[in-house]
Amino acid sequence: MHEDIREVLLSESDIQEKVKELGARLTKDYSGLNPLCICVLKGAAPFMSDLVRAIDTDLEMDYMAVSSYGASTSSSGVVRIVKDLDTAVEGRHVIVVEDIIDSGLTLSYLLDLLRRRNAASVKVATLLDKPARRTTGLKPDYCGFEVPDEFVVGYGLDYAEKYRNLPYIGVLKENVYSD
């Protein structure tokens, strides 16, 4: 285990088992629909990469990067597109793939945008959901795990760009924040 981690919340095998389960549900729901899976960079990249390999039907992949104006997404709710999609979403069945939904503001913005672009359907698949912090009415359609109101890292999730490569999800030791 990494020396900065206080506690592992979800082990590598917990995550991989859940990814298989979500992949099986998505296979059933999207067979024949050629869905467009949209990865919200950077955090969702490991989940997206594992999830698409657990989906056994034709699909396409695209990537979007967003960032908040000013202090933080959670306070302003204003989101800027840093990298837009290469694919036209009009008429497509879209699955937005996220690592975590916290306040829900990033996703609310993205869902609005995709609906305005006339996607045939827009659903959300997230590995983690932190409902305690939600400021919007947003609920994921496919969710791996609910997590408590703690800052989590690993499997794509970072603190100051670190820990994204951990194969598990954990909570940092207090001294990491003060160092």
Ligand X SMILES: O=P(O)(O)OC[C@H]1O[C@H](OP(=O)(O)OP(=O)(O)O)[C@H](O)[C@@H]1O
Q: Is 74 in the site for ligand X (CB under 6 A)?
A: yes
Taking residues 14 to 53 in sequence order and writing x for each that binds ligand X by CB under 6 A, - otherwise, the string is --------------------------xxxxx---------
CB of 42 to ligand HPA, least distance (A): 10
CB of 173 to ligand X, least distance (A): 20
Euclidean distance between CA atoms 166 and 150, whole angstroms = 17
Query: How far, rounded to the nearest angstrom, does the alpha carbon of residue 33 sit from its chain's CA centroid?
Result: 22
Q: Where in 141-160 is the site for ligand X (CB under 6 A)? A: 158
Q: Is 102 in the site for ligand HPA (CB under 6 A)?
A: yes
Which of 26, 100, 110, 138 lies at the binding interface for ligand HPA (CB under 6 A)? 100
User: Among candidates 101, 104, 141, 136, which has minimal Cα distance to 121?
Assistant: 141
Euclidean distance between CA atoms 93 and 70, whole angstroms = 32
Instruction: Return the active site residues.
Output: 102
Before 42, cis peptide (omega within 30)?
yes
CB of 31 to ligand X, least distance (A): 28
In contact, 81 and 69? CB cutoff 8 Å: no
